[in-house]
Structure 1
């Protein structure tokens, strides 16, 4: 009887972990996007190794990272406005098709042997433009795929789990393929992987969106409206600023990873692939942890702790000369980094106004990805001046400072978020918003 009860408990736990999969459209999305993201991570590793093999320059690694991410800073806000206006599924079909064509062109120039660094930089810029449109649209589309609103946080965590499962598998496969047959095959497989998500999007049944109650205004006016909304509301502002700081000072560790793999750990493409897999494994654990949570309650403290763990992981990686220690350090950094991003995403998605969802998620994309190119470029330049180790240590210190500031502002954030959760009634126990698990504050009036 105990064995039967134990199996029932395990089954109940598993259903809780994947409860967002009750929605058919979200199941399709997760399956298609999962295949596509494995190809995306394969291309990321292969492209980084190709650039470093051709040039041996950390600076050029930074430039490639810069060109692939800088469009997000300027284009994502406009894409956020479009996501609030137009059919998000059709927009995603367009962006995924364009991303597939980019991978095809990259495969052609590599397999024909005519590849040059300027071509890689140009194609990285093109992919950056596509992603700048795709990411805020995709982030705001999640709420349309999940039928039960209380499962939104679980859907975001599962989405992050999928990203990091791909991050776990893709780099390892890419490292082996690059070492055995070269980089070109990785780009071919990435191009083919986009078919999965395109077919999944085409198979979805999305009810028509309600027409806006007021006439559309100029794009710049709506963009300004979204910016003022995000800036004036303290919780959104604090989350976006912390994300921007982490992206600027901490996330560029991945840009310098090929330098550590080759120059410090004395390895090759397979070493780089395994290091990225280590970071992905930690990130996957982080997202599974978030998926197991029953509410958004306590996420404020989770964000603070995750930022500290992220900074410590980067620092250990910077100082390590041992492969296994470096692998463990990147697993810790991956856990912290992805927990920060997924937690911030969950909080934002549950507190923002529906008619501004696309615009706020475009600012989320700007903070997380749009700022990253400056970090990539700065890390590449700093590595040439003070060395890669000191560059990462400096980034870790910056993240620790951000965690301290966010922790100091946490009581004010809790106070402003609490009435929103009371009004929305997402789940009864969520009424305390970002409160810690042991805190039960009195109810307050709506703002």
Structure 2
């Protein structure tokens, strides 16, 4: 489960990300709660989320082109430093009592601009640290790392918000970037796997799109992730509204929801680290169950039942994320990896500028229960539709049976007689 941690460079990267990810989750919780406190509007929270991910939607593909051209370690040093400055600036405004909602909007957009390069660089840099044999394990551990921090960050953020205010959470996030920057500086360049960088030239963006267009396995994975990310992952909008409007609780309950979701996400990431391969059927099944759990949570009558449902939602959501990420990285030419990962992240994260305001509007107009249910329905329907399309393209049929005393649902090849009947 932890085999990739034997690599020194990856250990440094992993340790730095633990600290930085805790700070990132603290800022996310503090940012959402601050906006809700300043405006009283779920739509405003959605706008903040949208602004943070809008640059990925607008410039994500160009970020991928840059990542394929640039040394990834140097690029990460620049982007991590930029995000540190943003966190410290927002802390100064909040602690001085001069913060306004447009300051938070601007900070979210600035972080989004850095993410345009940071995300594909971090994703594709993993293969340069560990090589192809350990890639699946390292990608899964990265997700486990992020979700482990999610267990700590929201809890600490909740204590800091109620105890000393949101500004200290922003400051902690800004200072947390010292750890990943130090890790990058301490790496041994000679131990990195050499990946040929793309030369400067015209048509590289178009080249990347043509590459993906010729790969149905990449197209359908990215499509499914797009639907789930755009409509199912708007938790900053949903969870803050459930805590404040439905259950009339405070920041502590909002942190609890995020923490329990992180428990499930961590379990999903560790289970993915144990699996040898990333399979499409696992991703589709997880997406169907993810949507079903969101629909169930939307009808939860009590705070504790809603909170407990966050764990399976987190587990299935992380299974989708890790399986998609790993299958795309392992199936992509290294010279194209930056552009393909940028497209993947653009669709996954860039869908938030579309989905978050819609989720916020539905929440304000019809209630947060309706917003969460709609997201779940869209995620489950998209997964079922893509599963049926892939089954038809691959001449597969649904098989339901028992295996070693357990129910098993899978797609299997059609027999020739079945094909004749269908035809």
TM surpasses 0.5? yes
Cα shift at 1:313: 2.1
Change (3 A) 1:236 1:165: same
Counterpart residue number, 1:277: 259
Specify which of 328, 332, 336 is matched with residue 356 of structure 1: 336
Counterpart residue number, 1:117: 101
Cα distance in structure 2, aligned partners of 1:413 and 1:160 = 31
Cα distance in structure 1, aligned partners of 2:195 and 2:353 = 37
SS in 1 for 2:177: helix
Specify which of 126, 148, 173 is matched with residue 142 of structure 1: 126
1:219-258 matches, cutoff 5 A: 221-258=203-240
SS in 2 for 1:47: helix
TM-score, length-normalised on structure 2?
0.90
Counterpart residue number, 2:169: 186
Give the root-mean-square deviation of aligned CA atoms.
1.9
Counterpart residue number, 2:293: 313
Per-residue CA shift, 1:113-134, capped at 9, x if unaligned? 0010011111111111111221
Counterpart residue number, 2:81: 97
Task: Kindly report structure 1 stretches of 4+ aligned residues shifted beyond 3 Å.
Answer: 207-212, 409-415, 436-441
Cα distance in structure 2, aligned partners of 1:282 and 1:256 = 18
Give the conservation status (yes or no) of the 8 Å contact 1:253–1:314.
no
Give the conservation status (yes or no) of the 8 Å contact 2:195–2:335.
no
Change (3 A) 1:30 1:384: same
1:251-266 matches, cutoff 5 A: 251-266=233-248
Cα distance in structure 2, aligned partners of 1:171 and 1:413 = 43
Change (3 A) 1:414 1:288: farther
Cα distance in structure 1, aligned partners of 2:214 and 2:152 = 41
Cα shift at 1:381: 1.2
Specify which of 352, 359, 370 is matched with residue 390 of structure 1: 370
Counterpart residue number, 1:55: 39
Per-residue CA shift, 1:342-398, capped at 9, x if unaligned? 100010011111110000000011111011221111111121222211111111111
Work out whether 1:152 is the aligned partner of 2:132: no
Give the conservation status (yes or no) of the 8 Å contact 2:288–2:381.
no
Deviates more, 1:38-47 or 1:248-257: 248-257
Work out whether 1:68 is the aligned partner of 2:52: yes
Cα distance in structure 2, aligned partners of 1:210 and 1:394 = 43
Give the conservation status (yes or no) of the 8 Å contact 1:75–1:133.
no
Cα shift at 1:401: 0.9
Cα distance in structure 2, aligned partners of 1:266 and 1:155 = 40
User: Where does the alignment leave 5 or more consecutive residues of structure 2 unmatched?
Assistant: 396-408, 415-423
Cα shift at 1:439: 7.3
Cα distance in structure 1, aligned partners of 2:262 and 2:295 = 18
Per-residue CA shift, 1:227-266, capped at 9, x if unaligned? 1111221000000000000011101133221110011112
1:22-61 matches, cutoff 5 A: 22-61=6-45
Work out whether 1:204 is the aligned partner of 2:204: no
SS in 2 for 1:41: helix
SS in 1 for 2:189: coil
Cα distance in structure 1, aligned partners of 2:268 and 2:196 = 38
Deviates more, 1:267-276 or 1:227-236: 227-236
Cα shift at 1:414: 7.1
Work out whether 1:83 is the aligned partner of 2:67: yes
Size of the alignment, in residue pairs?
A: 399
Cα shift at 1:75: 1.8
Cα distance in structure 2, aligned partners of 1:165 and 1:21 = 16
Change (3 A) 1:117 1:438: closer
User: Where does the alignment leave 5 or more consecutive residues of structure 1 unmatched?
Assistant: 1-16, 416-435, 442-447
Give the conservation status (yes or no) of the 8 Å contact 1:104–1:187.
yes
Work out whether 1:167 is the aligned partner of 2:150: yes
Cα shift at 1:215: 5.3
Give the conservation status (yes or no) of the 8 Å contact 2:295–2:376.
yes
Change (3 A) 1:345 1:387: same
TM-score, length-normalised on structure 1?
0.86
Give the conservation status (yes or no) of the 8 Å contact 2:29–2:154.
yes
Cα distance in structure 2, aligned partners of 1:89 and 1:117 = 34
Cα shift at 1:438: 10
Counterpart residue number, 1:14: none
Cα shift at 1:316: 2.1
Cα distance in structure 1, aligned partners of 2:195 and 2:311 = 43
Give the conservation status (yes or no) of the 8 Å contact 1:234–1:413.
no
1:297-312 matches, cutoff 5 A: 299-312=279-292
